[in-house]
């Protein structure tokens, strides 16, 4: 009798379920409002690029914000079997892992 290895089922990630995501989503506005009074004397002024970085982090993994499709034309090479290697080979940087 032929035996087959167990199937590997794709498990989509859910970044919104992580404790870190929930913490950022629930408390970032409070941090921004309290920064000048509580942290500016120790850590310096509020840097506006932090807002951009946080919102990009919160958007990461949300398909409504867009996604990339990659297709390889040609013969499969040693890196083509792993999508992560294909992405690295194309110089695509992923904003979150």
Provide the pLDDT for residue 86.
44
| pLDDT computed for residue 75 by the predictor | 55
Residue 16's pLDDT is what? 84
**For every one of its 97 residues, what pLDDT tens digit does the chain have, with 9 covering 90 and above?**
677 677 677 677 788 888 888 898 999 999 999 999 999 999 999 998 999 988 888 887 676 776 666 555 555 554 445 544 444 444 444 444 4
SS3 per-residue string spanning the chain: CCCCCCCCCCCCCCHHHCHHHHHHHHHHHHHHHHHHHHCHHHHCCCCCHHHHHHHHHHHCCCHHHCCCCCCCCCCCCCCCCCHHHHHHHCCCCCCCC
């Amino acid at each position: 009798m032929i035996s087959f290895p167990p199937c590997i089922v794709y498990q989509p990630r859910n970044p919104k379920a992580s404790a870190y995501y929930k913490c950022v989503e629930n408390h970032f506005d409070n941090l921004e409002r309290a920064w000048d009074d509580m942290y500016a004397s120790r850590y310096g002024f509020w840097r506006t690029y932090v807002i951009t970085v946080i919102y990009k982090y919160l958007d990461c993994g949300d398909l409504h914000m867009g996604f990339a499709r990659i297709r390889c034309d040609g013969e499969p090479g040693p890196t083509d079997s792993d999508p992560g290697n294909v992405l690295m080979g194309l110089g695509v940087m992923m904003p979150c892992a």
